[in-house]
């Protein structure tokens, strides 16, 4: 297989644990990075990706953050798509009735209204820390700064997530991408940005999507895996992702991405 770019999701895909890339994966990426561009593509914020980039020895490559809504090349901003503050206010109004907390992300800023087991997990898994600040106060601050959200994370219960998801789709589905990360979490991102659109933006003049091999596991990876030259799902991927993939490798906990790289690249 001859590809010019390898693009991989992190959580549930390249990462064998909740927070770190394995020694096996590190060795394989370091082996191929001399003849292939390796780009990390994630829903994470930049500072939750830098340490992985460093471990892999690819700090010279761009980062695709927030499912494509924010693209960085070292300190240079290559692309930024935000959820407008007006839409954020609508979401806040809907979630307040169901006691759902909002995690608000802008560039390398992360705000949550209070501490919780879910927030502590995110801190451990991403090695990043939030600012504890009420959602209403954060919205007012962002209004003054004239900024929006690169990502919104809704943190509730299964019941509250089940209740609000169809409401969100009906009210804002034409403007925003909505993903169920799990039973209790909903990720919200701008409709006009995606992992695929970000990859397209990073292609050089002599590169096309056919030159890209990509790895993923979740709903937000489907578009990317469908349209690149070769899409690989890990063994733990959702059924819908496996259904459209060109190949299914081992689970992330068994280093499926590294195993594929070693045997096929």
Domain ranges of the chain: 5-80+193-264, 85-190
Burial of 165 (0-12, 13-18, 19+ CB in 10 A): middle
pLDDT at 90: 96
Q: What share of the chain is helix, strand, coil (3-state, %, to 5)?
A: 45, 25, 35
Could you give the CA distance from residue 215 to residue 13 in angstroms, rounded to a whole number?
7
pLDDT at 103: 97
Q: pTM surpassing 0.85?
A: yes
Burial 210-229 (b: 16+ CB within 10 A, else e): ebbbbbbbbbbbbbbbebbb
User: Between 180 and 237, whose confidence is greater?
Assistant: 237
Mean pLDDT value across residues 113-121: 93
What CATH number has the domain spanning 5-80+193-264? 3.40.50.1000
Could you give the CA distance from residue 85 to residue 60 in angstroms, rounded to a whole number?
33
Share of the chain above pLDDT 90, in %: 94
Cα distances from 253 to residues 52, 157, 189, 234, in angstroms, run 17, 26, 27, 10
Instruction: Check for a shared fold between 5-80+193-264 and 85-190.
Output: no
pLDDT at 25: 98
**Neighbour count for residue 42 (Cβ, 10 Å):** 25
Query: What are 255's two structure tokens?
Result: 């280093």
Query: What are 79's two structure tokens?
Result: 């692309």
| Adjacent-strand bridge partners of 179 | 187
Question: What DSSP element (H or E) covers 110?
Answer: strand 109-112
Mean pLDDT value across residues 81-93: 97
Is-contact 253 245, C-beta < 8 A? no
pLDDT at 10: 97
Query: What are 108's two structure tokens?
Result: 């390398």
Burial of 121 (0-12, 13-18, 19+ CB in 10 A): exposed
Cα distances from 217 to residues 2, 146, 251, in angstroms, run 23, 35, 9
User: Between 182 and 257, whose confidence is greater?
Assistant: 257
pLDDT tens track for 11-67? 999 999 989 999 999 999 999 999 999 999 999 999 999 999 999 999 999 999 999
Phi-psi region of 146 (alpha: psi -120 to 50; beta: other; left: phi over 0): left
**Quick one: pLDDT band at residue 97, thresholds 50, 70, 90?**
confident
In this predicted structure, the answer to whether residue 1 has a pLDDT above a threshold of 90 is no
CATH of 85-190, one of 3.65.10.10, 3.30.1240.10, 1.20.210.10, 3.90.1150.10: 3.30.1240.10
pLDDT at 180: 87
Angle at 7 between CA 120 and CA 178, to 5 degrees: 55
**Lowest mean pLDDT segment, chosen from 143-152, 171-180, 197-206:** 171-180
Picking from 45, 79, 52, the residue whose alpha carbon sits closest to that of residue 196 is 79
What is the pLDDT of the chain when averaged over all its residues?
96
DSSP state letters, 112-170:
ESS--HHHHHHHHHHT---EE--HHHHHHHHHHHT--BSEEEEE--HHHHHHHHHHHHH
Cα distances from 176 to residues 61, 88, 91, 193, 216, in angstroms, run 28, 11, 11, 9, 21
């Amino acid at each position: 297989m001859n590809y010019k770019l390898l693009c991989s999701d992190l959580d549930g895909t390249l990462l064998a644990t909740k927070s770190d890339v394995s020694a096996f994966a590190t060795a394989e990426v370091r082996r191929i990075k001399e003849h292939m561009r390796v780009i990390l593509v994630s829903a994470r914020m930049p500072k939750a990706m830098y340490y992985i980039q460093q471990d892999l020895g690819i700090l010279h490559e761009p980062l695709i953050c927030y499912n494509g809504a924010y693209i960085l090349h070292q300190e240079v901003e290559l692309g930024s798509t935000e959820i407008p503050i007006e839409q954020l206010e609508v979401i806040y109004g809907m979630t307040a009735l169901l006691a759902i907390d909002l995690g608000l992300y802008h560039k390398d800023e992360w705000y949550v209204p209070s501490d919780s087991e879910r927030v502590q997990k995110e801190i451990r898994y991403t090695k990043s820390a939030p600012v504890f600040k009420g959602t209403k106060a954060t919205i007012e601050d962002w209004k003054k700064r004239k900024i929006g959200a690169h990502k919104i994370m809704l943190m509730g219960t299964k019941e509250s997530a089940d209740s609000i998801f169809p409401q969100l789709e009906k009210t804002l589905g034409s403007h925003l991408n909505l993903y169920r990360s799990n039973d209790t979490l909903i990720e919200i991102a701008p409709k006009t940005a995606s992992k695929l659109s970000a990859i397209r933006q990073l292609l050089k003049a002599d590169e096309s999507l056919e030159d890209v091999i990509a790895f993923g596991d979740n709903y937000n990876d489907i578009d990317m895996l469908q349209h690149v030259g070769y899409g690989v799902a890990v063994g733990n991927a959702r059924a819908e992702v496996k259904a459209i993939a060109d190949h299914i490798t081992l689970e992330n906990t068994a280093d499926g991405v590294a195993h594929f790289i070693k045997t096929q690249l």
